[in-house]
Amino acid sequence: MITRYAFADLGGANHGWLNAKHHFSFANYYDPQKLSYGELMVINDDIIAPHTGFDTHSHSDMEIITYVRKGAITHKDNKGNEGRTTAGNIQVMSAGTGILHSEYNLEDEETNIYQIWIKPKTTGIKPDWDMAEFPKKPVTKYLPLLVSGDKKAPLNINQDARIYAGRINKGDEITHNIIGKAYLLIAEGEAMVNHLHAKKGDGIAITDEVAITLKAKTEAELLIIEVPGISDAR
């Protein structure tokens, strides 16, 4: 089954410095039908104004992945980690027993990020943070694996989950095989996901499918998050 959630219908809030859209219930946005998606707890589509950001705050027992779509985000935490992640690249943080961190847009332009929270496989682990740069060349055969829990990707998280992402040229078509359940994000452009037409900002929930066909209607940038769905709250 494939279900599209249009960007215009997502919950969210505009705080001035932060304009956030929520794919699932978060903060003051609550939808009993969209509490989570298996082990995928949060997807926030955030636009952060220049020279603003999230002041120091705490997390524990959560895998937090930030995919930068535009601009850059600068991370700093109380474990000595610090880094600037630019558009098309990813940072991951295993909050584990607890971590204090801040995230700022120190740029002169807006920064647009996906912030993704995944429930960890094991609680109480040592906190960790990492980032990686990825090729920007469009793909023609498959979306590359960027994040996983089995050390087969450049970035590792504490869960049996995978994040794939890449650009596809207009008119190109690829097939993506799915393990578990998946949630697809249209970061840029437009694409056909099997029979569904999806646009920038849309989210697509995919269950009981072993593979999907992706065809770019324009140059498109796509993310696919696969999770085991152990505690599906939908």
Pairing of strands 173-177, 162-168: unpaired
Question: What integer pLDDT is reported at residue 229 of this predicted model?
Answer: 67
Q: Find the CATH number of the domain harbouring 84.
A: 2.60.120.10
Low-confidence ranges of the chain (pLDDT < 50): 231-234
Give residue-wise pLDDT tens across range 159-218.
999 999 999 999 999 999 999 999 999 999 999 999 999 999 999 999 999 999 999 999
- Predicted pLDDT at 234: 35
DSSP-derived 3-state class of residue 113: strand
User: Is 6 part of any domain?
Assistant: no
* Dist CA 83 CA 121 (whole Å): 26
Global confidence as pTM: 0.95
- Together in a domain, 54 and 29: yes
Which tokens in the block code for residue 215?
């065809």
- Tell me if 70 sits within 8 A of 108, measured CB to CB: no
Strands 82-86 and 18-22: unpaired
Among the three residues 132, 164, 192, which one is the final residue of a domain in this structure?
132
Task: Report yes or no on 139 lying in a domain.
Answer: no
Q: Which residues form the domain of 83?
A: 11-132
User: Is the CB of residue 195 less than 8 Å from the CB of residue 174?
Assistant: no
Reduced to 3 states (helix: H, G, I; strand: E, B; else coil), residue 149 is coil
Q: What is the pLDDT of residue 25?
A: 96
The verdict on 65 and 103 lying in the same domain is: yes
Structural domain total, the chain: 2
- Shared domain check, 176 and 86: no
Judge if 125 and 35 occupy the same domain. yes
Specify if 174 maps to a domain. yes
